[in-house]
Amino acid sequence: MNTSSATPFAPVRTARELRALGAGSSGRRAVVMTMGALHEGHATLIRTARERVGADGTVVVTVFVNPLQFGAGEDLDRYPRTLDADLEVALAAGASAVFAPSVDEVYPGGEPQVRITAGPMGERLEGASRPGHFDGMLTVVAKLLHLTAPDLAFFGQKDAQQLALIRRMARDLNFPVEIVGVPTVRETDGLALSSRNRYLSRDERRTALALSGALFAARDRLAAQEALRARAEALPGAQNRGENRAEALSRLGEARAAADAHAVAQAAAEGCGAEAVRAAARAVLDGASKAEPPLVLDYLALVDPADFTEVTDDHDGEAVLAVAARVGATRLIDNVPLLLGATMSTMFGATQ
């Protein structure tokens, strides 16, 4: 393979070369696993890994389009393969090496007969939409963890269910590695960075913005609801009178200007927490379903990050609002972490 003058290292192609990498080094070792077509989201992962291991550490970036995690009719054949550009991105972000093995190197003798099974969590949401996907993903992650032998492995929170399953696998199977989640990187218009974004036409991209728009609307609704609840709970004497939240909000509304009172009444009518979060997101997605081209929703789910089961309407604590949809021929996913039942100071920090 030819590399440009701006790319002074060639990719590592074999497990033997990989084992020789950093031999004798006393620094920590990190891995960032990718399927290539690197963008700023990947670069953020690599920079974060470099910061964690320091100048003396080793950061290995893997580039491997894993056939096991693509189902029938998915985009394995057209998935972008841009290794020359990937090498440049990885180098600029602080990688020590790029491990870009062939399929035969990763799966000698053909598809493996023994695989990692994702279990019940792997059958929900993405797993239900893409049967076998998570089994294939965990199998290759397990193999790459063995091959790269890292102290730390970095994954993006955009693939929240994937991250949760990798963490569970590492814990359940005693992998000696710290799994580090890195926040989602977004483009300036809010669209989560993804290698599949390049498939979108201009009109499709406009429709696709509804995914992040729905998540942001839900997050904003939750923040407004929690602010109202905090104000209601802070009303003088509210606790002593034993008022419930709706009564306190009503009294708060009567003490404010008409516009604020209307907002309070609407908040009380729509409910707080999980119910309001789902409604706010669904309203945006429903609108996008009537756009041209339309957004075709796969799922919208508010789930417990521990097992990706749907949370109840009275849930208090951490949650993930996840969405998947198709725009044209492109399937996109996105999510946002939320904290239900928290005060504003808890959610955003007391100084903000």
**DSSP β-bridge partners for residue 297:** 325
pLDDT at 176 over 60: yes
Q: What is the mean pLDDT of the chain?
A: 86
The reported pLDDT for the residue numbered 245 is 56
The reported pLDDT for the residue numbered 243 is 55
β-strands 97-99, 178-182: how paired? Answer: unpaired
The reported pLDDT for the residue numbered 272 is 56
| C-beta neighbour count of 324 within 10 angstroms | 20
* Alpha carbons 6 and 90: distance in angstroms, whole number: 12
The reported pLDDT for the residue numbered 232 is 65
Which residues form the catalytic set?
A: 42
The 10s digit of each residue's pLDDT in 310-342 is 999 888 899 999 999 999 999 999 999 999 875
Q: Specify the 3-state DSSP secondary structure of 60.
A: strand
Q: Specify the 3-state DSSP secondary structure of 186.
A: strand
Q: What are phi and psi of 160, to 5 degrees?
A: -65, -40
β-strands 29-34, 58-63: how paired? Answer: parallel
What pTM does this model have? 0.84
Whole-angstrom Cα Rg for the chain: 23
The reported pLDDT for the residue numbered 29 is 96
The reported pLDDT for the residue numbered 25 is 74
pLDDT at 266 over 60: no
The reported pLDDT for the residue numbered 19 is 86
Which of these, 113, 174, 122, lies nearest to 146 by C-alpha position? Answer: 174
pLDDT at 167 over 70: yes
The two three-digit tokens of residue 13, written as one number: 């192609």
Percent of the chain at pLDDT > 90 equals 70
The two three-digit tokens of residue 334, written as one number: 């996105």
Mean pLDDT over 295-303 rounds to 98
The 10s digit of each residue's pLDDT in 201-222 is 999 999 999 999 999 999 999 8
pLDDT at 7 over 50: no
Per-residue pLDDT band for 74 (boundaries 50, 70, 90) equals confident
